[in-house]
Homo-oligomer: A and B are copies of this chain.
Amino acid sequence: MDQLGAIAALGALAQETRLALFRLLVARGPEGLPAGMIADELEVAPSSLSFHLQQLVHAGLIAQRRLGRQLIYSAEYRTMSELLAYLTENCCGRGEVRVPFCDPAETLTEEEKNHGCC
């Protein structure tokens, strides 16, 4: 991820509704949620939600797929990982940090598991 991508992702997350929305999708997992359910959960007007969904899609933080007449949104864990990698590499001191991965499917290696970390 380059600086422009990082700014886009940071800006997309720097808003109350969108951060809550992204957290909801992260918690939901790869299965995702249809827009209507998200609107109910977050108690935000459909057109307003649609606006925020576009922002997150544009930043690459969520993905959209159609299922019948509803649109399902799900977290793009990979992008979040890349954002964290960018921040740890560019905005942290002295490079003495580890880069976390976010994709639940992207399971830890055996070595990492044995490391017993966090």
Contacts and interface: CB of A to CB of B under 8 A. Distances in A.
Nearest to A88: B100
A16 B2 CA distance: 12
A20 to B, nearest CB: 8
B23 A90 contact: yes
A4 to B, nearest CB: 8
29 contacts: A3-B20, A7-B13, A10-B13, A10-B19, A11-B11, A13-B91, A14-B14, A19-B91, A22-B91, A26-B92, A75-B93, A84-B87, A84-B92, A88-B100, A92-B101, A93-B103, A93-B106, A94-B104, A96-B104, A96-B108, A98-B98, A98-B117, A98-B118, A99-B100, A99-B118, A100-B100, A117-B117, A117-B118, A118-B118
Interface of A: 3, 6-7, 10-11, 13-16, 19-20, 22-23, 26, 29, 75, 77, 80-81, 83-84, 87-88, 90-94, 96-108, 115-118
